Chains A and B, each alone.
Chain A
C-alpha cells in the first residue's frame, strides 16, 4: 500500500538541541493517527514539518510521491491544517473567514469579492450548521466571538478547503468536552455520516489528552524529538501510554 504521508530521516535543529531527530514514518491513506507526547516533546514541530510550514534541516517530507517543497501552491490545497491558535483573520467576519479556506480554488478577483461582498453564504451556512455555530453569527467579526465559536469557525474554514489530508496541532486544548467530541466527530468522520463534507480520510492530530486515543487507528508517541512508540490503538496498553508522560 502506498503511503499518503512519508517522513524520511527528518531532523530539525533547535537552539540547544534537536526539536526532531531522524524521524521516519509512513501514514497510509485513510489512517487516523494520534500524535501524543509531553509538552515540548516535538509534536508541534512534527506537525509543522509534515504540513510544510517548516523546512527540515535534514531529511524529506513526501506527500503522495511528491516532495512537499516541490508542491505547487494549487497542490497545497490537498493539505489542511487546524491550528491550536485558530489563525483566523481578526478583521474579517465569519463568512469571509470561512471562505478564505477556498482561496486556492479561486482567483484573486474572487478574493477581492470576498472582501467586499457576501459571497457563497449558503455554503458557509451549511458548514456552520455542521460545526453547530449559530447562523446569526455569519456576518459577525471573528474578533467578537468566544474561544469555542472561533474554533468552530476554524473547523468550518478547514472543511471549506476540502483537503485530502488533515493535520491538527492540539486543536482541543482548553475546550469544553462537548466541543472536543464534536470536533473529533467531524475531523475523524468515523461513522462516515459526513462523507459529503469531509473529503479527508487521512488525519494526523496531536493530542495532549491521551484518553481520546481510542477514536484513532494508530498512535505515535514522541519524546525529545524522537519517536518512542508507534502502535495500532488496539495493541496499546495503558502502562505504555503512562510511561510516555513520566520522565
Chain B
C-alpha cells in the first residue's frame, strides 16, 4: 500500500485554496456600481486631505485612541500579570503545595477571554451608557484574561528544578519564586506585553469603528460619507503610529540586551501610564458620567423560549464557515506568496503589502468590498483573512529573518532554483512553528468573526447585534453563552494543534489504497 506523506511546509500552504471559493462567490455577486468608488478610494491614498480641520480631527482621534490604548494596555498588563502568576500551576504548587487554586482561576478566566472585546463593549454600553470607560473596560476584561493565560503558560513552561531546589533549601515561597523565576519572566514579559500593546491599539481602533470614539470613529464616519481623501488622512496618521509601535516592539524584542530589557520592563509601564495623564489635561477626553442600567434577569422559561426562537445551528455553522475560510486565507496566503516570489524585490513588496493589510481594520475592508458586492460570508472571510494575512505575513518574515541560514546555503549549493531554496532551505525549518502559531491565530479568528459578522450580516456576531438592537436580553444571554462555549472549544482544539506542531510532527500520512 502506497502512502501519501504531506509535510508541514505543504500543509501550511494548502489552506490558501480557501481564497478560490471566496473569490468565486464574490464574482458571482459582483456589481459594477461601486467600482468607481473603489478607484476613488485607491486614488485618495496619494491625495489625502490636508485641510487643517481634517488633520486636527485625525490627530485628536489618534490621541483618544492612544489614551484608550495606554490605559487599557497598562491595566490589562498589570492585572494579567497578577492573575497569570496566581493561575500558574508552578506558583500554586510552590506556594500552597497543590494546584487547585490555579485550576479554579484558570477555569474562571476562560469566560472573559472567550468573548471578543467588541461584544464586551456593546454589552457594557447597554449597562453604563456611552463613555470613554466603555472602551477601556471592554479591552481590559478580555485582555487581562488573555495576558493571564499566556503568562501562566510561560511560567509553567520554565524549568522548575531550580525553584524546587531553592524551595527545598527552606526559602519562603515568595523569595524562591522571585529568585528562580523573576529574571526568567522579564524578557518574556517585555516581548509579550510589547505585542499586546499592538493588539490593544488595534482593538481600540476597532471599538472606535463601532462608535466608541477615537481614530476608528473618524475612519468609519469618513468612509460612510465617502470622503476618501479625509479617510486617508486618518489612515496615514494611523499608519505612522502603527509603524512607530511596531518598530519599538521589534527593537525591544530583538536588539536589547537582557539588562536593557529589565530596565525597560521597570520603566516602560509607568511611562506609558503617564500618557493618559498628559492627554487628560487637554480637555480631549470626555470621561462623561457612568450610569447603571442592569439587564433584567430572565427566568429559565424565558431563556428556553429564546433558545428555540434562534436558528442556533445555522448561526454556529455560518460562524464556523467564516472562521475556516478566513483562517485558510490568513494561514495559506503568506507562505504561498513568499514561495512564488522569493527574491529581494518580492520581499520588499510583500513587506509593504503586509503592512497595509494590517493597517486597514477588517470592518472597513468589509465595507469597502461591499461597495462592489452584496453582504455574504465571503465578504467577511476576505476582510478578516486579508487583515490576518498582514499579521501572519509579518510574523513569518520576522521569524525567517531571525533564523540562521545554514539550511538555505546547503540547498543553494545543490544548484536549486530560488523557489526550491525558499521551500526547502528556509520555510521547511519554520513551518512547524508557523503552523503552531497559525493554530493560535485560528482561535483568535473565531473570536474576531464577531466584528465582520456584524458587517457581513452573518453568524453569531450579526445575531448578537440584532438582539442588542431589539433589547432582547434573553436572546443575548443565550448567544453570548453559545459564543463563549464555541471559543472555549476552539481554544482547546487550537491548544491540541499547537502541541501537535511543536512536538515536531512534520508529516500527515494518508493511505492511497
Q: Given A81-B168, A100-B166, A103-B172 in contact, is the A112-B183 Cβ separation under 8 Å? A: no
Query: In residues 85-110 of chain A, which contact B (Cβ within 8 Å)?
Result: 85, 87-92, 96, 100-101, 103-104, 106-108, 110
Q: Are B161 and A77 touching (Cβ within 8 A)?
A: no
| Distance to closest chain A CB from B336 (angstroms) | 40
| Distance to closest chain A CB from B189 (angstroms) | 13
Q: Are A89 and B171 touching (Cβ within 8 A)?
A: no
Q: Are A80 and B169 touching (Cβ within 8 A)?
A: yes
Q: Give the docked Cα–Cα distance between A79 and B171 (Å).
A: 12
Other-chain contact of A89, B168, B169, B179 (Cβ < 8 Å): B179
| Distance to closest chain B CB from A158 (angstroms) | 8
22 contacts between A and B (CB under 8 A): A51-B168, A53-B164, A53-B168, A73-B167, A73-B173, A74-B170, A75-B170, A76-B169, A78-B170, A80-B169, A83-B165, A85-B161, A87-B165, A88-B162, A89-B180, A91-B183, A92-B183, A100-B180, A103-B169, A103-B175, A115-B178, A115-B179
Per CB-CB distance, the 9 closest pairs between chain A and chain B, nearest first, are A104-B170, A77-B170, A103-B171, A91-B183, A111-B175, A87-B165, A76-B170, A103-B175, A108-B174
Query: In residues 178-194 of chain B, which contact A (Cβ within 8 Å)?
Result: 178-180, 182-184
B176 sits at the interface (CB 8 A): yes
Q: Are B165 and A114 touching (Cβ within 8 A)?
A: no
Q: Are B179 and A73 touching (Cβ within 8 A)?
A: no
Q: Give the docked Cα–Cα distance between A40 and B37 (Å).
A: 75
| Given A85-B161, A100-B169, A104-B169, 6 more pairs with CB closer than 8 A | A80-B169, A89-B180, A91-B183, A92-B179, A92-B183, A111-B171
Q: Are A91 and B165 touching (Cβ within 8 A)?
A: no
| Distance to closest chain A CB from B190 (angstroms) | 13
A52 sits at the interface (CB 8 A): yes
Q: Give the docked Cα–Cα distance between A83 and B172 (Å).
A: 20
Q: Are A103 and B168 touching (Cβ within 8 A)?
A: no
| Distance to closest chain B CB from A45 (angstroms) | 15
Name the prevailing secondary structure of the B interface residues: helix
| Distance to closest chain A CB from B94 (angstroms) | 11
Chain A residues near B178: list those with CB within 8 A. Answer: 108, 111-112, 115
Q: Give the docked Cα–Cα distance between A104 and B171 (Å).
A: 4
Q: Give the docked Cα–Cα distance between A37 and B173 (Å).
A: 35
Interface size on A, residues (CB 8 A): 35
Q: Given A103-B175, A111-B179, A112-B178 in contact, is the A87-B170 Cβ separation under 8 Å? A: no
Q: Are A103 and B161 touching (Cβ within 8 A)?
A: no
| Distance to closest chain A CB from B46 (angstroms) | 50
Interface 0/1 of B483-512, CB less than 8 Å to A: 000000000000000000000000000000
Q: Give the docked Cα–Cα distance between A144 and B172 (Å).
A: 28
Q: Are A89 and B176 touching (Cβ within 8 A)?
A: no
Q: Give the docked Cα–Cα distance between A83 and B167 (Å).
A: 14
Q: Give the docked Cα–Cα distance between A222 and B511 (Å).
A: 50
Chain A residues near B20: list those with CB within 8 A. Answer: none
Chain B residues near A163: list those with CB within 8 A. Answer: 169
Q: Give the docked Cα–Cα distance between A107 and B161 (Å).
A: 22
Chain A residues near B162: list those with CB within 8 A. Answer: 87-90
A161 sits at the interface (CB 8 A): yes
Q: Give the docked Cα–Cα distance between A78 and B161 (Å).
A: 19
Q: Are A115 and B170 touching (Cβ within 8 A)?
A: no
Interface 0/1 of B255-267, CB less than 8 Å to A: 0001000000000
Other-chain contact of A87, B164, B173, B184, B258 (Cβ < 8 Å): B164
Chain A residues near B184: list those with CB within 8 A. Answer: 89-91
Q: Are A100 and B161 touching (Cβ within 8 A)?
A: no
Chain B residues near A112: list those with CB within 8 A. Answer: 178
Q: Please, which residue of chain A has its CB at the minimum distance from the CB of B179?
A: A100
Chain B residues near A89: list those with CB within 8 A. Answer: 162, 166, 179-180, 183-184
| Distance to closest chain A CB from B473 (angstroms) | 48
Most chain A Cβ neighbours within 10 Å, of B167, B170, B176: B170
Interface 0/1 of A44-59, CB less than 8 Å to B: 0000000111000000
Chain B residues near A104: list those with CB within 8 A. Answer: 169-172
Q: Please, which residue of chain A has its CB at the minimum distance from the CB of B160?
A: A87
Q: Give the docked Cα–Cα distance between A76 and B170 (Å).
A: 4
Chain A residues near B173: list those with CB within 8 A. Answer: 73
Chain B residues near A52: list those with CB within 8 A. Answer: 168
Q: Give the docked Cα–Cα distance between A101 and B184 (Å).
A: 19
Q: Are A91 and B258 touching (Cβ within 8 A)?
A: yes
Q: Please, which residue of chain A has its CB at the minimum distance from the CB of B175?
A: A111
Other-chain contact of A81, B165, B171, B174, B180 (Cβ < 8 Å): B165
Q: Give the docked Cα–Cα distance between A115 and B182 (Å).
A: 9
Q: Given A91-B183, A92-B183 in contact, is the A108-B169 Cβ separation under 8 Å? A: no
| Distance to closest chain B CB from A51 (angstroms) | 6
Chain B residues near A80: list those with CB within 8 A. Answer: 169
Q: Give the docked Cα–Cα distance between A51 and B172 (Å).
A: 17
Q: Are B169 and A77 touching (Cβ within 8 A)?
A: yes
Q: Please, which residue of chain A has its CB at the minimum distance from the CB of B258?
A: A91
Q: Please, which residue of chain B has its CB at the minimum distance from the CB of A104?
A: B170
Query: In residues 18-69 of chain A, which contact B (Cβ within 8 Å)?
Result: 51-53
Q: Are A103 and B166 touching (Cβ within 8 A)?
A: yes
Q: Give the docked Cα–Cα distance between A92 and B164 (Å).
A: 16
Most chain A Cβ neighbours within 10 Å, of B166, B168, B169, B176: B169
Chain B residues near A161: list those with CB within 8 A. Answer: 169-170
Q: Give the docked Cα–Cα distance between A31 and B347 (Å).
A: 70
Chain B residues near A88: list those with CB within 8 A. Answer: 162
Q: Are A115 and B166 touching (Cβ within 8 A)?
A: no
| Distance to closest chain B CB from A173 (angstroms) | 16
Chain A residues near B165: list those with CB within 8 A. Answer: 81, 83, 87
Q: Please, which residue of chain B has its CB at the minimum distance from the CB of A88?
A: B162
Chain B residues near A87: list those with CB within 8 A. Answer: 161-162, 164-165
Q: Are A101 and B169 touching (Cβ within 8 A)?
A: yes
| Distance to closest chain A CB from B96 (angstroms) | 13
Q: Are B183 and A115 touching (Cβ within 8 A)?
A: yes
Most chain B Cβ neighbours within 10 Å, of A111, A114, A115: A111
Interface 0/1 of A110-122, CB less than 8 Å to B: 1110110000000
Chain A residues near B183: list those with CB within 8 A. Answer: 89, 91-92, 115
Q: Given A88-B162, A91-B184 in contact, is the A76-B168 Cβ separation under 8 Å? A: yes
Q: Please, which residue of chain A has its CB at the minimum distance from the CB of B186?
A: A91
| Distance to closest chain A CB from B479 (angstroms) | 46
Q: Please, which residue of chain A has its CB at the minimum distance from the CB of B266?
A: A116
Q: Given A91-B184, A104-B169, A161-B169 in contact, is the A83-B179 Cβ separation under 8 Å? A: no
Most chain B Cβ neighbours within 10 Å, of A52, A78, A91, A161: A91
Chain B residues near A92: list those with CB within 8 A. Answer: 179, 183
| Distance to closest chain B CB from A107 (angstroms) | 7
Other-chain contact of A83, B161, B175, B176 (Cβ < 8 Å): B161
